[in-house]
Amino acid sequence: MPDFSLPELIVIFLIFLLLFGGGKLPEAGRSLGQAIREFKNAMRENDPTTDVKAAVKGVKDAVSAEPVKKPKGKSTRA
């Protein structure tokens, strides 16, 4: 990721201010933040380690669960 110095950030801010104007600048920033958040969530969903963690959790839950009790009475055999 590139490192920006203070003068470079000021120039970028001024360009955004000229492009979007003072009234739409907060809206543009909010939209940019939401897009970055959605991108991170999509990357997190496609992470292969997430699938493994979910599978391990499912197996642990199944092992720790109480066994299913069979109903008393008639047998189900034909």
Q: What is the pLDDT of residues 15-58, one digit of tens each?
A: 988 888 888 888 888 888 999 999 988 887 776 666 667 777 77
Contact (CB, 8 A) for 51 and 44: no
User: Which amino acid, 22?
Assistant: G
Spatial separation of the C-alpha atoms in residues 51 and 58, rounded to whole Å: 11
Contact (CB, 8 A) for 17 and 25: yes
Q: Which two tokens stand for residue 18?
A: 């000229």
Check pLDDT > 90 for residue 8. yes
Q: pTM value?
A: 0.43
